[in-house]
Amino acid sequence: MQSLWKILTVAPLFLLLSLQSSASPANDDQSRPSLSNAHTCVGCVLVVSVIEQLAQVHNSTVQASMERLCSYLPEKLFLKTTCYLVIDKFGSDIIKLLSADMNADVVCHTLEFCKQNTGQPLCHLYPLPKETWKFTLQKARQIVKKSPILKYSRSGSDICSLPVLAKICQKIKLAIEQSVPFKDVDSDKYSVFPTLRGYHWRGRDCNDSDESVYPGRRPNNWDVHQDSNCNGIWCINNVNKLCCLGSQPRGIILLGDSAGAHFHISPEWITVSQMSLNSFINLPTALTNELDWPQLSGATGFLDSTVGIKEKSIYLRLWKRNHCNHRDYQNISRNGASSRNLKKFIESLSRNKTLDYPTIVIYAMIGNDVCSGKSDPVPAMTTPEKLYSNVMQTLKHLNSHLPNGSHVILYGLPDGTFLWDNLHNRYHPLGQLNKDVTYAQLYSFLNCLQVSPCHGWMSSNKTLRTLTSERAEQLSNTLKKIAASEKFTNFNLFYMDFAFHEIIQEWQKRGGQPWQLIEPVDGFHPNERNSILLKGILMTSQTLDNQEWTQLTSWIKGNLTCDSRTREWLCCCWRIISGKRCSSSGPKSWERRIRSTPRLNRCLETKAGTEPLRSTHPWGAQGGRGLGKLIPQTLWGLPRHRPKGLFFSSIFAKCLSLNEEHIWTTVQCCVLLGSVTLPLFLK
């Protein structure tokens, strides 16, 4: 997981020499040799493949296809300009080699972006040439024998070594390593800038010059002077006590890896049949977000799904339940994160025990404790004992920072054997045009270069896949044990399995196929559908059959039932006056308002306290006082309670005892009467 974003940062742009070392994600393994060369090799093969396929699809020259690719790139971040510079430098040799029917593997080895070290296997994505590899490579080198670019050293080239860019690169790298916003004037860990760890990752700051103003805090003096928690509820004259008091605001915080950050590479970037001027519009945003899309993640996403999933992220569920939760989200996820290196960036979590609202924290390190790109990944896996130590250290840190009343959910690890079983014989987007690249070939290529996000599961070796799943199960059992045995003063602790089989079943019920739940380009990460469906299962999980878990999930879903007499009364009166469901903002504020309003109090006693709930209309079916006597049933309960197949015109006709043809001349009268009688009722 930690290396894929490096590869794709350079690939679409052909920045094969510059971006690998800047803004790199977590990598706690320094022993693997020539990682920089490996990333460069993958990037080169992808880009040359796209150039070759563009020429094929558009029946054009290689020169024209390279110019077409550059024309698709946006001007932002100098992407288009950089592309043309790269063409000017390497284009002539690429044209010669592709015109000689050399595939992308041969081109990149000839130009020395890919290298086969002594004693190492030959790493290739495409099938080997019919002639021997040695002969083919010698032939290709003869074609570009006099090329001046072969004298150019690929090592030590780093755009960040330029004096004018050194400080900027260092600041960006530091922001990513520490998981804090690049632009944060008041240093409160919240930003008005979207990317570079800005408000795509955590709630948007509404005053970047005041460190006491940020999402998730309790309102300062009930916000009589300013919106101190950026939730948009700025009530004056202490009315904020009625706005949010008793509504139990809660934030959502995710401690995760690249899956939690929603690592995503758009298939349009490498699928030439779909490529157009619009394909790369979101590339600058993706690059400045480390190729992550937290704004669409299942936990903290605040944008609507781009894949047509009706379920919402946990944050949007919390927001829908209670608008006082507006902007209170933090995605503290990082490509390459695991229980081993979480301590390096957990300090970026922003929560004050005394000043802020309680929150829900999801610990979802679901891959990198068993995944690595090493040729022998088993020794590098986290042991159950080490995981226990790492997680306890994290939980102690959370207990010292979270407000009392918070919740922490530990996610188990998935069974990744699903990947090989469902993808290995399918064609990768890069191979769909000519049916020449399967996921099995991609996995083998990445494993050979030792840059695979998970060699253990992305392997043809069934024994290795089984060993990886067994260790994942051991680590999940360790997390389950921690949740069952450990207690903390400031939060309740829960465990939840990574219910991948339930996700598959739900997706198949909707007519989908299991492979559609995985990112198509990297063939490893859960995609947007998977992420959102998983968070939906969290809301209906039967993993824990206890009162605390039921209260937590019900509270998040926002459909609390009226399980007490007081709540029944409140819900009844709320339905009577508006036709809506039971208020999810809690009983206290509504109870005060009802008890302080004589007419509502009378309604409370007569309709909910002593009489059966046979009517949800203000005066029942028999009419009421004053203007109510003129109306057998008012407008307010009708839309909610109309029978199926009954149209509003016939409802209004029945309501006012009129014929259908008279409706449109009298409906305004009905609305007017309703707007008059409701204020009278609330007076």
Band the pLDDT of 225: cuts 50, 70, 90: confident
| Pick from 154, 297, 531, 431: nearest CA to 440 | 431
What pLDDT shows up at residue 77? 87
Closest CA to 34 of 300, 375, 415: 375
Least confidently predicted of 30-39, 166-175, 628-637: 628-637
Query: 65, 247, 258, 333: which one is catalytic?
Result: 258
pLDDT at 548: 60
Q: CB of 429 within 8 A of CB of 272?
A: no
- Residue 346 or residue 573, greater confidence: 346
What are φ and ψ of residue 292, in 5° steps?
-105, 155
Instruction: Out of 147-156, 157-166, 361-370, 554-563, give the one with best mean pLDDT.
Output: 361-370
Three-state secondary structure call for residue 255:
strand
DSSP strand pairing (329-333 vs 406-411): unpaired
Look up residue 219 and give its amino acid: P
**What distance, in Å, lies between the first and last C-alpha atoms of the chain?**
61
Residue 183 near residue 196 (C-beta atoms within 8 A): yes
Q: Which of 233, 392, 243 lies closest to 328 in space, CA to CA? A: 233
Please report the pLDDT score of residue 672 as a whole number: 45
- How far apart, in Å, are the Cα atoms of 585 and each of 270, 289, 558, 578? 47, 35, 9, 15
- Rounded to 5°, the CA angle 105-107-113 comes to 85
- Indicate whether this model's pTM tops 0.85: no
Residue type, 363: Y
How many CA atoms does the CB half-sphere of 200 hold within 13 Å? 23
pLDDT of residue 174: 78
Name the burial class of residue 245, with classes exposed (0-12), middle (13-18) and buried (19+) by CB atoms within 10 angstroms of its CB: middle
Residue 258 known to be catalytic:
yes
| pLDDT of residue 19 exceeding 90 | no
Of 89-98, 122-131, 301-310, 535-544, which range is least confident? 535-544
Residues 6+ apart with CB under 8 A from 396: none
Calculate the alpha carbon distances from 355 to 95, 212, 351, 676 in Å: 63, 10, 8, 43
Distance CA 67, CA 108 (A): 19
- Where residue 357 falls (left for φ over 0; alpha for ψ -120 to 50; beta otherwise) is beta
| Amino acid sitting at position 189 | K
pLDDT of residue 662: 43
What span, in angstroms and rounded, lies between the C-alpha atoms of 433 and 49? 11
- Residue 181 is predicted with a pLDDT of 95
What's the whole-number average pLDDT of the chain? Answer: 79
Mean pLDDT of 549-553: 62
Q: Under DSSP, is residue 526 helix (H, G, I), strand (E, B) or coil?
A: strand
At 303-337, the pLDDT tens digits run 988 888 888 999 999 999 888 999 999 999 999 99
- Measured distance CA(649)–CA(654) in Å, rounded: 9
Q: How far is CA 477 from CA 385, 410, 494, 496, in A?
A: 11, 11, 13, 11
DSSP secondary structure string for all residues of 34-60: THHHHHHHHHHHHHHHHHHHHHHHTT-
CATH 3.40.50.1110 positions along the chain are 247-418+462-555
Inter-helix orientation angle 528-539/500-509, to 10°: 110
pLDDT digits (tens, 9 = 90+) for 606-632: 433 333 333 333 333 333 444 443 433
pLDDT digit string, tens, across residues 368-384: 999 999 999 999 999 99
Q: What is the spatial distance between Cα 630 and Cα 52, in angstroms, rounded to a whole number?
A: 78
Confidence tier at 557 by pLDDT (50, 70, 90): low
Residue among 347, 373, 393 at smallest CA distance from 486: 393
Could you give the residue ranges of the DSSP H alpha helices within 144-279? Answer: 163-178, 240-244
User: 247-418+462-555 adopts what CATH topology?
Assistant: Rossmann fold (3.40.50)
When pLDDT is cut at 50, 70 and 90, the band that residue 149 belongs to is low
The least confident of 356-360, 384-388, 560-564 is 560-564
CB distance 540 to 305 below 8 Å: no
pLDDT of 94 > 70? The answer is yes
CA 650 – CA 643 distance, rounded (Å) = 11
